[in-house]
Amino acid sequence: MALTLLLGSLPLPSQAGPEEDRLAFVGHYQSLFPEVPIAEYANGIYALDEDARAQWLAIEDFPPYEFSIERGSELWDTSLPDGSQLTDCLGTEINKIRPQYPRYVPNQGVVTLELAINACRSAAGAKRWDYSSGDMIDLTAYLAFEARGQELNVRVPADQPGALAAYEAGKRFYYSKRGQLNFACADCHVTSVGQYVRADRLGPSLGHPTHFPVYRSKLGGMISLHQRFFGCVRDVRAKPFELQSEEFRNVEFFLSYMSNGLEINGPGARK
Amino acid sequence: MDRARVSKHVIGALLVSLFAGGCASEFDRRFDEAERLRQDVAARGYEWINTADILEQAQASEASGDLAAALVLVEQARFQATAALLQADREAEAWKRRVVR
Amino acid sequence: MKNLLPLGLLVVAQSLLAADDARIAIGKEMTFDRAKGNCLACHRIDDGELPGTLGPPLLAMKVRFPDRAALKQQVCDATIRQPDSRMPPFCRHGILTGEEVDLIVDYLYTL
């Protein structure tokens, strides 16, 4: 009876607040790898794997994403059809733009940097960019680069029930098994982090959103965070969602919240 | 005699067309069921990667006259959509167990 | 006729053994095939290169699973024993048929 009362009075696990979730999430990795400083998780798997880290640092000597940053910088300075520039719409402090996203906006849901860029282009009479286009990825690479050293600071305001709903939807997606192979994101990136799937080591979700977009050697090009999500969902043999779909934006919102306090260090380079 | 033979042929042709018609509608019926299940599971966000492709292949097989292959493919798609719906049902609660706490 | 009987038995026994070998060879193929078992993705198996580490190494299977039905069930659908298992429910999700699992089990029992 006393036990029933006690259990009855405990909140359901899924109803824990975002900040409790985040502390538990960080704590999970901390208990698995006590020697790894939390800030290191911004470097993904290279926080955990010495050999891969050495190779990665060698790649970083001549960053394969440099060209993307340069192109992004040119796009930033290009005038839009109505004579305005993106800076008029997105903000004048260039290092403060990337850290404002993803954020929840009532009636719009989770607004990512990509969504904000397209909204600005649209308002200025320019064509919206495809979310897998080189232009979009280059511009986000540039804005990430300019924001290096700023911390992720995603907010789920208590007075906006929609924000909590979006966060909860992203959390639910992250922990749900899907696809013919029946994997949840968490099955690999929480439960099995650091383990090998054939030759590949599974990276931590903590710190995952900080370094995108990334240059992937395997693909010989830059990819966005949502393209990475797309690849994972496809690999568990589920039908992937569209880039910048509500599902993926909610996952980005949840995962970015989990990484709050970590430094933005994009663009990155990955195998 | 001729008349009898002709009517025999007519009846035969009729039977054949009825039989063929019966099979085609059997395919349509099973295809529609599998497609409806696929749409149900898609609406819940749990569609698997190639269920729609399998249904497309089934249509192509049927169109090319290979009804047997078409029915095997439709059954495969129906199986996938059904299993994915069960997965969605399980996950309605199961995901909560995995939350890091 | 009397003398032929043992010879006949030997022939039958040999062809049965050959059938076993064939099953084991097919089972091994299914175990390693990326579109079928793809077991190496998560398990160390014999001398398979670059094995994954999500699951335990597949060895001493007869000791670990003396009951063939239990091993077959584990390969078919590991979520029966452990609902949150990371191992795909191969049969329930139509990745492997029951017959294919039988062949894989034949091979696993050689490990």
ipTM: 0.89
Structural domain harbouring A208: 16-271
CATH of the domain at C88: 1.10.760.10
Instruction: Evaluate whether residue A185 is within a structural domain.
Output: yes
Percent of chain A residues topping a pLDDT of 90: 90
Which residues in chain C have Cβ-Cβ distances shorter than 8 Å to B79? Answer: 94
CATH of the domain at A56: 1.10.760.10
pLDDT band per the 50, 70, 90 thresholds, residue A4: very low
Handedness of CA A170, A172, A176, A180 (dihedral sign): negative
Mark yes or no for CB contact B100/A178 under 8 Å.
no
**Tens-place pLDDT, residues A15-37:** 579 999 999 999 999 999 999 99
Annotate A205-258 with DSSP letters as a single string: STTGGGG-SEEETTTTEEE-HHHHHHHHHHHTTBPPPPTT-HHHHHHHHHHHHH
Instruction: Evaluate whether residue A240 is within a structural domain.
Output: yes
Task: Tell me which chain C residue has its CA closest to the CA of residue B77.
Answer: C94
Which residues in chain A have Cβ-Cβ distances shorter than 8 Å to C79? Answer: 182
Contacts of A16 (CB under 8 A, 6+ apart): A24, B99, B101
Which residues in chain C have Cβ-Cβ distances shorter than 8 Å to A199? Answer: 50
- A-interface mutation test, from B37, B38, B46, B49, most A Cβ less than 10 A away: B49
Residue A116 pLDDT exceeds 70: yes
**Beta strand pairing status for A268-270 and A221-223?**
unpaired
- The Cα–Cα gap between B36 and B41 comes to 9
- The Cα–Cα gap between A246 and A115 comes to 11
Active-site residue, A232 included: yes
Q: How many domains does chain C have?
A: 1
Q: Which chains touch C (3 or more CB pairs under 8 A)?
A: A, B
**Tens-place pLDDT, residues A150-160:** 999 999 998 99
- The Cα–Cα gap between A180 and C87 comes to 11
State whether residue C41 sits within 8 Å of chain A by CB: yes
Tokens 């098994």 belong to A177
**Residue B22: its pLDDT value, please?**
54
Output the six-digit token pair for A236: 């568990």
pLDDT band per the 50, 70, 90 thresholds, residue A10: very low
**Residue B9: its pLDDT value, please?**
57
**Tens-place pLDDT, residues B20-70:** 555 558 999 999 999 999 999 999 999 999 999 999 999 999 999 999 999
Residue A12 pLDDT exceeds 50: no
Instruction: Evaluate whether residue A166 is within a structural domain.
Output: yes
**Tens-place pLDDT, residues A208-260:** 999 999 999 999 999 999 999 999 999 999 999 999 999 999 999 999 999 99
**Residue A104 Cα to chain centre, angstroms:** 15
**Ordered alpha helix ranges (H), chain A:** 2-9, 18-32, 50-60, 66-77, 86-90, 113-123, 134-146, 161-175, 185-186, 225-235, 246-258
**Residue A158 Cα to chain centre, angstroms:** 22
**Residue B18: its pLDDT value, please?**
52
Q: How many domains does chain A have?
A: 1
State the nearest Cα–Cα gap between B60 and chain C, in angstroms: 22
pLDDT band per the 50, 70, 90 thresholds, residue B5: low
Instruction: Evaluate whether residue A2 is within a structural domain.
Output: no
Q: How many Cβ pairs within 8 Å bridge chains B and C?
A: 12
A204 with A29: CB under 8 angstroms? yes
Mark yes or no for CB contact A195/C54 under 8 Å.
yes
What average pLDDT does range A172-190 have in this prediction? Answer: 98
Minimum mean pLDDT range among A53-62, A108-117, A231-240: A53-62
Instruction: Evaluate whether residue A9 is within a structural domain.
Output: no
Which residues in chain A have Cβ-Cβ distances shorter than 8 Å to C41? Answer: 197-198
Mean pLDDT by 10 residues, chain C (111 residues): 58 71 94 95 94 96 96 97 97 97 97 93
Structural domain harbouring C98: 4-108
Output the six-digit token pair for A62: 């001549």
Contacts of A229 (CB under 8 A, 6+ apart): A240, A241, A248, A251, A252
**Residue A199: its pLDDT value, please?**
87
Instruction: Evaluate whether residue A5 is within a structural domain.
Output: no
**Residue C17: its pLDDT value, please?**
73
**Residue C5: its pLDDT value, please?**
59
Q: Which chains touch A (3 or more CB pairs under 8 A)?
A: B, C
pLDDT, chain A, mean: 93
Minimum mean pLDDT range among A56-65, A72-81, B87-96: A56-65
